Amino acid sequence: MARSAIHGPAQGRDSRIRPGSDRGHTVAGMSSRPTAIRAAPCSNAERLLPGHQFADAYKVPARHGVDAIEATRLAFARGPLWIRALMGLRNGLVRLVGLKPARSRGFPILSETPREVVMGFDDRHLDFRIVVAVAGGFATVTTLVRWHNAWGRAYLAAVLPFHRAIAARMIESVA
């Protein structure tokens, strides 16, 4: 049985998500998006962030004709209120300890091609990269983290449950 990234077992769904397949089913007249599934991190992860200690990825079938630039725009466009609230809380807390807040327009773009967009920045406690890629009919978001000290490791442990829910929800916006 397929396992949803944030909702447990995918009840009654085909565990094989195929590009161009049914984008969701109707329940009581409401359509649903495909649920993001865990995926292998991008193949160039070591080149993008050498020595990373954490990597995860989620994927969904991409809308027809969407490239990585458009997928990034869709994923990082004005998200749900709960994500915006969590990011606002995060930004307020990290300012208290002297770390960089996330920009309101999203993370800095380090490289951008129709196949892959790489975002992220380096900070005192950790460095991270977010990679949005479109290939084979799927859109995938990969997160890479390299921590520098105990604070970086503790920060990642604290945000990880939220990160997983946010990353999966954001890439679902591309389906």
Contact yes or no for 139/60 (Cβ under 8 A): yes
Give the per-residue pLDDT at 22.
37
Distance from chain centroid for Cα 155: 17
**Residue ranges in the chain whose pLDDT is less than 50:** 1-31
88-94 contacts at long range (C-beta below 8 A, 24 or more positions apart): 90/159
Contact yes or no for 143/170 (Cβ under 8 A): no
Q: What pTM does this model have?
A: 0.74
Tokens, residue 56: 């995860």
Q: How many CA atoms lie within 13 A of 158 on its CB side?
A: 10
Q: Is 111 left (phi over 0), alpha (psi -120 to 50) or beta?
A: beta
Residues near 41 by beta carbon (within 8 Å), at least 6 away in sequence? 55, 56, 57, 142, 144
Give the per-residue pLDDT at 88.
76
Give the per-residue pLDDT at 92.
77
Query: Per residue in 20-58, pLDDT tens?
Result: 433 343 344 444 668 899 999 999 999 999 999 999 999
Q: Give the CA-trace dihedral at 21, 68, 157, 10, to 10 degrees.
A: 0
35/24 Cα distance (integer angstroms): 9
